[in-house]
Amino acid sequence: MGSTLTSVLAPILKGLVLLCDVLSVIICVNSVMSIISPMGKVREFTSTLCEPLLAPFRNLLDKLVKNNTPFDFSPMMAILALYALSALFSVWMARL
């Protein structure tokens, strides 16, 4: 039974780690493209993918920091959260 559970969970956890890594890269590309080409097609595409991830962190920052700073720290917070999730999935995978 344990072997069957491991054979099912291991690929799922590997996929989740990969998803976290891919989302982190997309967030980085989106941040760089917002500076280089704010109206480009790549920026539109990455923004569409990133916005559902970044919106909760923007809302949290708006509540924590009353004065609206000119810098958007939500991508950094999202990447840190994705990194923590990836590490958690990796630990679970190692314990299988």
42: pLDDT confidence band, cut at 50, 70 and 90? confident
6: pLDDT confidence band, cut at 50, 70 and 90? confident
Give the Cα separation of 8 and 48 in Å (integer). 31
Domain that holds residue 77: 2-95
Is residue 33 within a helix (H) or strand (E), and if so which, with residue range? Answer: helix 2-36
CB 59 within 8 A of CB 78: no
CA quadruple 68, 72, 73, 75: dihedral sign: positive
Q: Please provide the average confidence, as pLDDT, over all residues in the chain.
A: 90
66: pLDDT confidence band, cut at 50, 70 and 90? confident
4: pLDDT confidence band, cut at 50, 70 and 90? confident
Which two three-digit tokens encode residue 38? 């704010």
Q: How many domains does the chain have?
A: 1
Q: Which residues are within 8 A (CB) of 85 and not within 5 positions of it... i.e. 6 or more apart? A: 16, 20
Residue 22 has pLDDT above 70, yes or no: yes
